[in-house]
Amino acid sequence: MSVQSTEIHLAARPHGAPTLDDFATVRTEVPDPGPGQILVRNALMSVDPYMRGRMDDRKSYVAPFALGAPLEGGAVGEVVASGADGFRAGDHVLHGLGWREYALLDARGATKVDTGVAPLGAYLGILGMIGTTAYACLMRTAEFRKGDAVFVSSAAGAVGSVAGQLARIKGASRVIGSAGSAAKVSYLLDELGFDAAFNYRDGPVRDQLAAAAPDGIDVYFDNVGGDHLEAAIARLNVHGRIGVCGMISVYNATEPVPAPRNLAQVIGKRLTLRGMLVADHRDLRDEYLAEAAPLVADGTLKLRETVHEGIGDAPAAFLSMLGGQDTGKVLVRL
C-alpha cells in the first residue's frame, strides 16, 4: 500500500542567489519498503548552507543535486513501515532524505535517535552534525586552548552559536561574535554569554573587530570568509589559528572572489589557516556528545531553533536561512 507524499525538486540551477523559481513542489507516490528498507514519515528537515553548493553543477567534495529530482539533506522522523531487521514502526530515526514528507530508504542510511534524551530537532542541530562541526572545528582544526581569545563569525547561526558557547565553557579569555542584526547581537550578549559582539552591517568588520578585541584574538572560527577573514588576519596574534568551517559570503558568487588583501601577514605572525569538513571528524562525535548532551539537558548549552511550517515552505526557509533572516538552527516541520 503506497503513500502520497509531497517533495521538493531542484527545478533550475541558481545563478547567484537562489530564488523560489529554482524549486518545484511535486506530488508523488511512495511504495512500501522492500527488504532492508524503511519508510519514514519525516517530522523535521534541516536547511543548510552547504546545500547551496550542491545546487551548482561543479566538482566538489559532494555530488551536485540532480535537476528534476528531490533535494536531499538531514531529516528526522518516525518509521511507519519496515522491511529491515532492527527497525520497526514507531522508531525515530535520523537520515539524509529530507525535502520530502515520506522517505523510503535503505535502513543502513538511518540512525535511531532517542526522543527521551533530547527533542527530535536537536539531532539536526546541537546534538547532530551542527554540534559536531562546531566542536571539531574549534578543538581540532583551530586547536583551541584555555585562555584563547576567540572570534566567531555568523555567531548567531547554528554552528557559530555552539562554537562560541563551547569556547566560553572551555575557558576562553574572551569570546567575540559577529552577526547581521541588532537582535542577533543582543542574543549573543544577553543569552549566550559572549563577551563582545557586533553587527557587521554597522561598519567595517576590521574596525569593529579591533574595538571588540583590544588585545587581539588567538582563534578565528570562520563561517563567513571575505571581509571577516581579512579582519581576523589583521587582528590575530602571533601563532594565531584560523579554523575555516565555512565561507558563506562567497557561496552565491558568480565570479572568483579576491583573496584577503593582507594574506602575507600569515608569515610574520606565523598563522595557521586550516579548512575542515565534519565528515572527516566522525571519530569525535561520541566524545562531543558525552560532553554536550548533559550541558544541553541542564541548559548550559543553548541552541535556538527557527522552525518553518510545511513542506511547501521549505524553499522559502532555505532562502531565509541563507539571507540571515533566521536565528539559530533553521528547520522545517513537515
Q: What sign results for the dihedral spanned by CA atoms 122, 127, 129, 135?
A: positive
Q: Which of residues 134-173 bind ligand NAP (CB under 6 A)?
A: 154, 156-160
Q: Does 50 bind ligand NAP (CB under 6 A)?
A: yes
Minimum Å gap between C-beta 154 and ligand NAP is: 4
Residue of 179, 188, 196, 301 that binds ligand NAP (CB under 6 A): 179
Residue among 233 and 245 whose Cβ is closer to ligand NAP: 245
Place of cell 511535486: 26
Q: Which of 100, 184, 235, 308 contacts ligand NAP by CB under 6 A?
A: 184
> Quick one: cell of 173?
579569555
Contact 231, 253 (CB under 8 A): no
Q: Which residue has the cell 542584526?
A: 181
Is residue 303 a contact residue for ligand NAP (CB under 6 A)? Answer: no
How far apart (Å, rounded) are the C-alpha atoms in residues 107 and 38? 6
* E strand intervals along 11-87: 23-30, 37-46, 75-82
The rounded distance, in Å, linking the Cα atoms of 297 and 117 is 8
Which one of residues 5, 42, 82, 133 is an interface residue with ligand NAP (CB under 6 A)? 133
Cell of 123: 539531532
Closer residue to ligand NAP in complex, CB, 209/248: 248
Residues 6+ positions from 283 with CB-CB distance below 8 Å: none
Beta carbons within 8 Å of 82's beta carbon, 6+ residues apart: 33, 37, 38, 39, 88, 89, 91, 107
Nearer of residues 208 and 223 to ligand NAP, judged by Cβ: 223
Residue 8 backbone phi and psi in degrees, to 5: -110, 125
Restricted to residues 248-277, the positions that interact with ligand NAP (CB under 6 A) are 248-249, 276-277
Q: Compare residues 157 and 315 and give the one whose CB is closer to ligand NAP.
A: 157
Q: Compute the least distance from the CB of residue 51 to ligand NAP, in Å.
A: 9
CB of 68 to ligand NAP, least distance (A): 25
The least CB distance from residue 24 to ligand NAP, in Å, is 24
Q: Which stretch binds ligand NAP (CB under 6 A): 1-9, 29-37, 72-80, 240-248?
A: 240-248
Among 48, 72, 148, 230, contact with ligand NAP (rule: CB under 6 A):
48
- The residues facing 103 across adjacent strands are 40
CB 164 within 8 A of CB 137: no
CB of 259 to ligand NAP, least distance (A): 17
Identify the residue among 144, 209, 223, 319 touching ligand NAP (CB under 6 A): 223
What are phi and psi for residue 241, nearest 5 degrees? Answer: -130, 140
Q: Choose between 38 and 158: whose C-beta lies nearer to ligand NAP.
A: 158
- Based on the shown chain and the rule CB under 6 A, indicate whether residue 14 belongs to the binding site for ligand NAP: no
* CB neighbourhood size of 135 (10 A): 25
The site for ligand NAP (CB under 6 A) is made up of 48-50, 133, 154, 156-160, 179-181, 184, 223-224, 245-246, 248-249, 276-278, 321-322, 324
